[in-house]
Chains A and B, each alone.
Chain A
């Protein structure tokens, strides 16, 4: 077994460093999406297939959320084949396999991990267990060069974090949500405003159309904290709706949406800019599904221009969960030959800081 691995192309260390155009298969199944990508040289996307976005998925009766392991199992082989086909490469061309190891739902993670291990073993190439949030952050590497130290504002349905990246692949979480993630707060407020779930984008749109604003509280927490809390803001929206109803009035949903959005944006961008200044970063990275929020993008773009701070925001398809971003993060480990052994386990509560590169 060991002999065979030594002979494998992936574990030939000298060959790796001199192979800038290596091919990686990347797999992401941490939560709702099954996604597989082929990435060349860590930067060039040859294919990036996401289950909810393809027609073939529908014939399996795919539903959202696709959290159940069975749904991932049904999708994974089809999506792997599709990723190879679209990239125009065959499995034998692959130099390494990367997969999301965590955080996420254990049953969902396992489907991707089992597929990745099987492929790595069969193709005799190294395996790279990858952190989901590192993927969101390094999605930015697919569109530009990251300048260090950098600060990443990760905003999605499941995560709200401020991450300092002092050097390439060195992660330090400086702030995180203490209750709801920002995307979740959006979706829950959307529900209160009678939008179908998930309704975050509707709130963004309504906030833009609003003529008035119901001013809602800002949750800054302790003066020196970079943590977030959105639970109180959600309650404030609900209380405002109740107050109007008790007075026999119709609540002004668009003014509420504007008030909610302004509060979120003030706090999120305010903390990000303060952290960027304190840590003297050279670049700000916006990532995660909520990076699609127009209000957030516009405000952050304006603030960064004012502060003369370069800002990177990936296009929408690279902000939501996808496998190409996992490939971009795994590239950090590939270039350092930091591979993962085949007995790797899914890590539902995987620590980003622990995943930092060693070299």
Chain B
């Protein structure tokens, strides 16, 4: 059990973003890894910067125009980037309500899905996904914890760790 926990822990990718620009840069970099069916499950307290993260991710995908909060409409769809972008926010929903929305069609569609407040609907998320948790560590700094579920996202995290190590190596 302990070994398992340790394994899960080492699969994670953690980034300490000093400011909003760092967070946005990371989100845009993640967009470069996105493929049809990619699912990012985003969590973090009110004001942690989930929508800001989604905006930077959308920008990285090349989505043109304004990407604003989908809290009221639950889902906003954007075309015009390298892949369709489905921006969801399930803040207002309960699990049974979300279950009735037929979100599967988006999850298994041609586009990339980012779900804000994803932990609310965790049981109905696809089996493979990347959980991203934004933790507020200061007025502008955030700890970003990426937890992969499934080989595809484990590979993403390996790649992110390598890239980080390279960057740190270069910097040092």
Contacts and interface: CB of A to CB of B under 8 A. Distances in A.
A180 B50 CA distance: 11
A55 B25 CA distance: 51
Given A65-B92, A180-B51, A191-B46, A31 B97 contact: no
Contact of A181 (B69, B77, B101): B69
Given A105-B73, A180-B68, A184-B69, A239 B97 contact: no
A204 to B, nearest CB: 18
B47 interface: yes
Interface in A121-162: 156-158
A188 B46 CA distance: 8
A178 B68 CA distance: 5
Contacts of B74: 67, 105
Contacts of B66: 176, 178
Contacts of B69: 177, 179-181, 184, 231
Interface in A175-204: 176-181, 183-184, 188, 191-192, 197
Contacts of A67: 74, 92-93, 97, 101
A179 B51 contact: yes
A348 interface: yes
Interface residues of A, number: 35
Given A63-B97, A67-B97, A70-B100, A197 B72 contact: no
A234 interface: yes
B73 A234 contact: no
Contacts of B82: none
A5 interface: no
A70 B96 CA distance: 12
Interface string B54-65: 010000000000
Interface string A298-314: 00000000000000000
B161 interface: no
Given A179-B68, A180-B71, A65 B51 contact: no
B72 A234 contact: no
B76 A348 contact: yes
Contacts of A91: none
A197 B94 CA distance: 13
A158 B73 contact: yes
B17 to A, nearest CB: 15
B125 interface: no
Given A231-B51, A349-B77, A181 B72 contact: yes
Interface of B: 46-47, 51-52, 55, 66, 68-69, 71-78, 92-93, 97, 100-102, 139
23 contacts: A31-B72, A63-B97, A65-B93, A67-B97, A67-B101, A68-B97, A70-B100, A106-B75, A107-B102, A158-B71, A176-B66, A178-B66, A178-B68, A179-B52, A179-B69, A180-B69, A184-B71, A184-B72, A231-B52, A234-B47, A239-B47, A348-B76, A349-B78
Given A67-B74, A107-B101, A156-B72, 5 more contacts: A65-B97, A176-B68, A180-B51, A231-B69, A234-B47
